[in-house]
Amino acid sequence: MSVKIFDTPEVQDFLKTVAGLDQAGGNERAKQIMHRLLSDLYRLIDDFDVTPEEFWSSVSLLNALGAGTQFGLLAPGLGFDHYLDMRLDAEDEQRGLTGGTPRTIEGPLYVAGAPEAEGFARMDDGTDTDAEVMWLTGQVRDVDGQPVAGAKVEIWHADSKGGYSFFDPSQSEYNLRRTILTDSEGRYRARSIIPSGYGVPEGSPTEQVLSALGRHGQRPAHIHYFISAPGHKHLTTQINLAGDPYTFDDFAFATREELVIEGKRIEDAAEADKRGLEAPFT
Ligand code: MBD
Ligand code: FE
């Protein structure tokens, strides 16, 4: 059975009432947006002849997503985070703001308040014995190429199993999360461990949605950055470690060619040792 009622005056009036458009009070923008959102959904129900069973099982799924605080995890999977980035890129272009490291999505796993250090930080707590040591070094420069001293570099990433501290209860507080202030030459250095890629929790409502679409929930190995300094635009970005099978098949659509980094393995034991001695736990 297929009935089409969306375009009738009764339904159109009903939508206005539901969104509060036929009375004063409330927030005008909220009313307009809700009216549009409900209109699109009502029309969808009509066009696809969505059954009550389908509707209520979607409600169940939304409840499960909310109960598991997974809206923020499904959102990048549905491309919203990347779409918002595309809009910011287009805005920048319109304003003539070009150059510099490209932005990419923050994701749902940032935690504020990481320990702060000047110039150098050790990021891992030393307990991930399966992991290989990783050095991150860099220089913060403005769009004219001038080093920025005292810039704030916030770095966070997963462990060798793809888990993040605070979300993975087996890790210590702020493990693999640090804030480093750049030195007089704009440089920062970190000792950490090579992260593995992330996968959405098995059996989770997020995975359920993705698998209904025939999609996986994997991200390649990556390292998140916030870069900020007074007088400069805040940068949210990531680097991807080259060679990961998911580098160009990220469920969150965050990879950018310019952000894929080829790591250099330090095989020279003496060199590794020398660096190691400079790397106390902090
Ligand atoms: C992540 O680590 C992440 O960065 C994103 C965007 C989504 C899920 C897990
Ligand atoms: Fe991440």
In this structure, the number of other CB atoms found within 10 A of the CB of residue 183 comes to: 17
Domain for residue 2, yes or no? no
Atom of ligand 1 nearest to the CA of 252: 6
Give the per-residue pLDDT at 1.
Answer: 78
* 105: phi then psi, degrees, rounded to nearest 5: -60, 150
Q: Which of 252, 219, 100, 228 is nearest to 155 (CA)?
A: 228
Q: What is the pTM of this model?
A: 0.93
Atom of ligand 1 nearest to the CA of 251: 7
Q: Give the helix ranges, DSSP H, for 78-152.
A: 80-95
Token pair recorded at residue 49: 């002849």
Q: Which of 133, 213, 116 is nearest to 174 (CA)?
A: 116
**Same structural domain, 154 and 188:** yes
Provide the edge-to-edge strand list for the sheet that holds 235-241: 116-118, 177-181, 152-157, 222-228, 235-241, 260-261
Give the per-residue pLDDT at 213.
Answer: 98
Ligand 2 center–CA 177 separation, angstroms: 12
Of 28, 54, 77, which one is at a domain's C-terminal end? 77
**Same structural domain, 129 and 20:** no
In this structure, the number of other CB atoms found within 10 A of the CB of residue 36 comes to: 12
Q: Measured between alpha carbons, how far is 135 from 138 in angstroms, rounded to an integer?
A: 10
**Same structural domain, 87 and 73:** no
Split into its structural domains, the chain has a count of 2
Ligand 1 center–CA 208 separation, angstroms: 17
**Same structural domain, 60 and 89:** no
**Same structural domain, 121 and 234:** yes
Q: Tell me what percent of the chain is helix, strand and coil, each rounded to the nearest 5.
A: 30, 20, 50
Q: Residue 128 belongs to a domain with what CATH number?
A: 2.60.130.10
Q: Which of 170, 154, 168 is nearest to 114 (CA)?
A: 154
**Same structural domain, 100 and 224:** yes
**Same structural domain, 19 and 152:** no
**Same structural domain, 58 and 142:** no
List, chain by chain if needed, residues with CB within 6 Å of any ligand 1 atom. Answer: 73, 76, 105, 107-109, 198, 219, 252, 254
Domain of 56 in residue numbering reads as 9-77
Of 56, 77, 98, which one is at a domain's C-terminal end? 77
102: left (phi over 0), alpha (psi -120 to 50) or beta: beta
* 153: phi then psi, degrees, rounded to nearest 5: -115, 110
Ligand 1 center–CA 38 separation, angstroms: 29
Output the tens digit of pLDDT for each of the chain's 282 residues.
799 999 999 999 999 999 999 999 999 999 999 999 999 999 999 999 999 999 999 999 999 999 999 999 999 999 999 999 999 999 999 999 999 999 999 999 999 999 999 999 999 999 998 899 999 999 999 999 999 999 999 999 999 999 999 999 999 999 999 999 999 999 999 999 999 999 999 999 999 999 999 999 999 999 999 999 999 999 999 999 999 999 999 999 999 999 999 999 988 867 766 666 555 554
Domain for residue 95, yes or no? yes
**Same structural domain, 52 and 152:** no
Residue with tokens 């949605």: 209
Q: Measured between alpha carbons, how far is 241 from 260 in angstroms, rounded to an integer?
A: 6
**Same structural domain, 116 and 159:** yes
CA triple 282-239-183, angle to 5 deg: 45
